[in-house]
């Protein structure tokens, strides 16, 4: 595995290196630090201090440092492409409001433009123990889960899967819709929830098998995907959220900002967005579930119960209070 780590003389770069150490992501990996010199900030006074912490990256196969000039985002994305990096690990200043609008965010820009997985590392470095995988019924989620299952570091983490289904209308106005049409709408909503739950269970079993564990907890909830994911990461002790590049498709994707980008902005913890990869077994499972007969899906009794809230309830409570 090749990990590209952009650094400068900021505190967030020091935190990013600490994140790598605490997460075990660098174990067995080739790590390349990239310092981009451009604009008014060409000094490298603190870079040796930052790099000295790389000694603590236990298990890394190789560590090297390169320097580049020019706009930061372009230099980072270009290096990742030329080196064929498997992951870009970038720290964030976590700016908010007007400061963010004026100064922009290199981490968010890299997340948008990079062709490989990117992890946004928050200001506070903590040990990574609990990993939340946000998945829907898209191909990008299949890619995300399969890629993550192949990472050695994830085998030492607690992992569980969260799927958020857009909630059904609060009520149906009989003056505007016939009983038959309203009934069909509600049936379709039930079908969607059951189908996603069936898929989540299938992926849970595949992930458990791939990572040599007995089970992988999962649940399906109703609500807005962004709200549900961020609420879960806030309510429970989540250290890392992992999701595919897009959790929406079609018209919804055109109307809304990318779910992955918005979650990366709002989540209280680090976020890893997987893109630029392909899936085999997980994608086959997705297609099989997508073509499953409606009656069989509705008759499925083994999937986890759905909760009518944007925040995970009792399904995950036992895992965090009593262990996984």
Confidence of residue 184 (pLDDT cuts 50, 70, 90): low
The reply to whether 48 and 195 lie within a common domain is no
State pLDDT tens for residues 236-269: 999 999 999 864 444 444 444 688 989 998 999 9
State pLDDT tens for residues 3-48: 999 987 777 777 788 888 888 888 889 999 998 876 444 445 556 6
State pLDDT tens for residues 59-83: 788 888 888 888 889 999 999 999 9
pLDDT above 60: residue 176:
no
The reply to whether 104 and 73 lie within a common domain is yes
Cα 316 to Cα 219: distance, rounded to the nearest angstrom: 8
Mean pLDDT (the chain) is: 78
State pLDDT tens for residues 112-157: 899 999 999 886 767 889 999 999 999 999 999 999 999 999 999 9
Residue 194, token pair as written in the block: 């059951």
CATH of the domain at 311: 3.40.50.620
Largest CA distance in the chain: 72
pLDDT above 50: residue 164:
yes
pLDDT at 253: 45
The reply to whether 309 and 207 lie within a common domain is yes
Q: What pairs with residue 6 in β-bridges? A: 34
3-class secondary structure, 213: coil
The reply to whether 278 and 303 lie within a common domain is yes
| Enclosing domain of residue 171 | 130-322
The reply to whether 142 and 107 lie within a common domain is no
pLDDT above 60: residue 317:
no
Q: Which residue has the higher pLDDT, 104 or 94?
A: 94
At a CB cut-off of 8 Å and minimum separation 6, what does 317 contact?
A: none
Antiparallel, parallel or unpaired: β 240-244 and 270-274 = parallel
Give the percent of the chain with pLDDT over 70.
69
The reply to whether 107 and 150 lie within a common domain is no
For 125, phi then psi, to 5°, come to -85, 125
Confidence of residue 281 (pLDDT cuts 50, 70, 90): very high
Domain count for the chain: 2
The reply to whether 99 and 142 lie within a common domain is no
The reply to whether 137 and 72 lie within a common domain is no
State pLDDT tens for residues 188-198: 767 778 888 88
């Amino acid at each position: 595995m090749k990990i590209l780590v952009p650094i400068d003389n900021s505190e967030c770069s020091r935190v990013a290196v600490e994140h790598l150490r605490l997460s075990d992501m660098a174990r067995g990996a080739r790590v390349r630090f990239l310092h981009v010199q451009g604009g008014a900030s060409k000094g490298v006074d603190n870079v040796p201090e930052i790099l000295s912490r790389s000694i603590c990256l236990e298990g890394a196969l190789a560590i090297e440092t390169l320097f580049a000039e020019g706009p930061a985002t372009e230099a980072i994305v270009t290096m990742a492409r030329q080196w064929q990096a498997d992951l870009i690990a970038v720290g964030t200043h976590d700016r908010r409001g007007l400061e963010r609008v004026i100064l922009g965010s290199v981490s968010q820009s890299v997340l948008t433009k990079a062709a490989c997985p990117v992890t946004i590392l928050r200001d506070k470095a903590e040990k990574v123990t609990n990993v939340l995988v946000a998945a829907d019924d898209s191909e990008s989620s299949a890619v995300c889960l399969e890629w993550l299952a192949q990472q050695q570091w994830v085998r030492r983490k607690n992992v569980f899967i969260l799927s958020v289904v857009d909630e059904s209308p609060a009520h149906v106005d009989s003056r505007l819709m016939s009983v038959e049409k309203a009934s069909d709408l509600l049936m379709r909503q039930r079908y969607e929830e059951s189908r996603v739950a069936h898929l989540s269970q299938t992926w849970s079993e595949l992930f458990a098998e791939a990572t040599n564990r007995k089970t992988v907890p999962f649940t399906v909830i109703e609500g807005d995907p962004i709200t549900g994911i961020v609420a879960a990461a806030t309510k429970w002790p989540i250290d890392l959220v992992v999701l595919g590049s897009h959790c929406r498709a079609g018209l919804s994707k055109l109307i809304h900002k990318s779910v992955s980008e918005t979650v990366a902005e709002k989540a209280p913890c680090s976020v890893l967005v997987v893109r630029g990869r392909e899936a085999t077994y997980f994608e086959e499972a997705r297609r099989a579930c997508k073509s499953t007969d409606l009656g069989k899906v509705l008759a499925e009794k083994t999937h986890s119960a759905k909760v009518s809230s944007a925040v995970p309830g009792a399904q995950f409570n036992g895992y965090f209070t009593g262990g996984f």
